[in-house]
Amino acid sequence: MLELKNISYVVEDEKEIIKDVSLSISEGFIAITGPNGGGKSTLAKIIAGIIKPTSGQILFDGQDITDMSVTDRAKLGISYAFQTPVKFKGITVKDLLSLAAGKNTTVAESCNILSEVGLCARDYINREVNASLSGGELKRIEIAMIIARSTKLSIFDEPEAGIDLWSFNSLIKVFEKMHEKINGSILIISHQERILNIADQIIVISEGKVKQTGTKEEVWPDLMAEGTCSVLAQKVG
């Protein structure tokens, strides 16, 4: 489905943020984990086309998308829920859901999507997506947009941030339901064991490189033993 071949990303001062990453992502749940600053978000932005890699190639369903714009990749079926949601002025939740769905979503449709992410639709549908919303609310609206799009590849960047324990189960349900519907890949960047638990494949990114990839059983012991991610250990402990 998605293939990264020798992707590198170098910024000024020759700092290499992504170092020769090659990955093959199949259908199903894929979790990306690893320490903060390891390059996870950078990799997600490279897949979405927001960042152009310095070298390497990206294939999506066999098609070379390396030089394709953000818009064209979105149209091909790549969605990306940002780690830090963007705020607007005057644009409402319903506006964003309509843009995401590529059509004027009805109130009923918007309500269904919002309740999936645990927001009471009536209170939110006409709210502006601005700083008056809390971090957790913005994060859920970010996820709702990806649901509205329902594309073949959906990337979620730390979706659990700002989401409380109750909605955590619902979040996993969102992913499971989406998986049923799209029959594609759901790529989740996360530190949460419960998300790693549902993954068919876990990729550990550290210092810009793929440190390990495998099933939970294969990856977990090493993650714990090496304490690669203290955040992870804390949350589990």
Ligand X SMILES: Nc1ncnc2c1ncn2[C@@H]1O[C@H](COP(=O)(O)OP(=O)(O)O)[C@@H](O)[C@H]1O
In angstroms, the Cα distances linking 139 to 101, 168, 187 are 18, 13, 16
206 lies in the binding site for Mg ion (CB under 5 A): no
Distance CA 155, CA 175 (A): 11
Number of helices (H) and strands (E), helices first, in the chain? 10, 10
Minimum CB separation from ligand X for residue 94, in Å? 30
R_g of the chain computed on alpha carbons:
18
100 lies in the binding site for another protein (CB under 8 A): yes
Which CB, 98 or 213, lies closer to another protein? 98
Which CB, 148 or 199, lies closer to another protein? 148
C-beta of residue 204 within 8 angstroms of C-beta of residue 210 = yes
Distance CA 145, CA 149 (A): 6
Which CB, 39 or 118, lies closer to ligand X? 39
Q: State the residues that interact with ligand X by CB under 6 A.
A: 11, 15, 17, 36-42
Which CB, 70 or 198, lies closer to another protein? 70
Residue 80 binds which of Mg ion, ligand X, another protein, none (CB < 5-8 A, kind-dependent): another protein
SS3 170: helix
**Which residue, among 25, 23, 21, has the nearest Cα to 184 in the 3D structure?**
25
Task: With contacts defined by CB under 5 A, name the span among 14-22, 41-49, 89-97, 147-155 that binds Mg ion.
Answer: 41-49
Q: Restricting to residues 34-53, which ones interact with another protein according to CB under 8 A?
A: 48, 50
Q: At what angle do helices 135-149 and 93-101 cross, to 10 degrees?
A: 30
Binding residues for another protein (CB under 8 A): 48, 50, 69-71, 74-75, 78-80, 82, 86, 88-92, 95-96, 99-100, 102, 145, 149
User: Which residues contact Mg ion by CB under 5 A?
Assistant: 40-41, 83
